[in-house]
Structure 1
Amino acid sequence: MVELKGPNASASNNLAKEILSTLAKYDIQIGQIVSITSDNGANMIKTTKLLSQYCTNEDDIEMSEVDNNNMYIRNIDSFQKSIDVRLGEIQICRCAAHTAQVCALDITKNADIRKYLLQCRNMTKYVRKPSNGYREIFEFKKLPLPQLDCPTRWGSTYHMVERLNKAKDILSHIASEKKVNER
């Protein structure tokens, strides 16, 4: 067990270095690793890619953060295609809960549902901006601020939509007040 502390401690580059260091400590070669069981987090997928590339001496390819909708959709599509993949010599075994998430994400292939989820994501991003005053309203009403979802975080889309739904009356009221003030 290795405790990782500090900013970016769980970044893929740091995880790969720690894994290589631990393997070296026990005189285990990277080529002896057959499989890694992962939680499907982007950092673990990237770490496994880095380790596999280390085996094959390929160049490091950086993954972007999932912050815009186009990247989010590409990540969902790639996540759904990668239940059990071989990268170099190391096989990634996906966690069963995250595999179930892939099944749940299948519904996002429906254009209407995808459009709705993207609207929810955009609303969540807007509500979370400190500059527009929504945070204070949520705090005053004792409502949890919606969290932006992530395709590899189990249940995150459900929780995002659920929190927006709980705040639906407040968000509708604020929207109608803005329309009245704009007139």
Structure 2
Amino acid sequence: MGRHSENRMRQHFSFDPATNKSKCNVEGCGAEIKGNHGGNLQRHIQRRHLEILKKSSTDAVQKRAASTGQKTLDAVVVKKPKLVQVPITPEALEDACLELVTVNGRPFSIMEDSGFRKILDPLQQAIGNGFVINSTNIRDKVTTVAQSARKKLIDELSGRLILLKIDSATCRDRSVLGINVQYIEGDRIVLRTLAVRELCERHTAFYISSVVQEVLAEYRIGLKQVYSITADNGANMQKAVRVLSEIQATSLNEEEESDMDTEADDTEKEPVIEIDSVVQGHVLRSVRCSAHTLQLAVDDALKDNGVSNVIGKARRVAKKLRTPNVVAVLKRLGHKRAIVDCPTRWHSTHDMLDRLCELRSFCDDMSPTVTELHLCKTEWQAISKVVCALKPAKITTKCIQSEQLTAGDFYGL
């Protein structure tokens, strides 16, 4: 026996088995939805006819309360409404919702959440004139604002000498390539994000360089304008920069040959003249990421046999300190828990060794009964020296992760 169709939204649709489509019967709509799935029908009502969904939900709550003899919260609580005047324009309200889903990273579905609707609905009614905010029109608004911001950025970057910053990241089986641009505006460095583009193929140098060229073309930026590219030390990233450098060199050579046949135009605007004077005969430069370079330098130092042996012994002690019986004793004595590092993240190695130094007296007291916690005086001294050596590098790494960093800042740090 089949299931009963209990979704209340079906009453607003007529289903035609021949075409396998459900037609919306709401006056003035007439939209056709493939299939007869209740969730799809309800989603249409939620997006296009929100007032019907609200009325249906209210009726259902009242019907359920009447059948069970229960009272709703509104009926029990005696409300004393206090009306407030909110000085807000429709544009400001739209911008606030837009900021929620962009800057604050909230999902579009927040516009349909019951708690948020209790804030929005009174404002919509007060504004009137058919003003509505929902997940659909906010999604469309994001696209419109993005196009406007992109056009403004195209005008800003026209004819400027720029520096690119590229980096990739992978999370939950999805890889993206972030492309940022830096340029000088007066006496300050300006940083703008051009794109965060998903990578759908193998991360080869040629594929990465093609993605970069697509983004530059989208913003009408010629490789002639790019003075340098900052990337990490990955072989594919460095080769991608070399590929772009070769393309730029070829382009510049073709322009030089063309200039020999035609006279240069002296009426061009100043930024282009500046670019011509700087990059004449210039080939795009690769700048290694300072943070990644420092990471590799520290990793090389930690691979030293003496250091790696000390860290290995410290890691065994830390793992023993994390066993349930020892953790219970640590907690009873008011000590902090030990930290076990991730070997590929030397920051965590520094934190592990630093915490071990704090727990040295506990380890010395417990070592007669728990032999795994024993370390000799020389080993404790070695651990302390490694912590002292890593601490400046850790502080420096945090500092060079700032948004704006120059070569002078890096060497100063």
TM-score w.r.t. length of structure 2: 0.24
Higher RCO, Cα 8 Å, sep 6+: 1
TM-score w.r.t. length of structure 1: 0.48
Of structures 1 and 2, the larger Rg is shown by 2
Q: Which has the higher strand share?
A: 2
Q: Which has the higher helix share?
A: 1
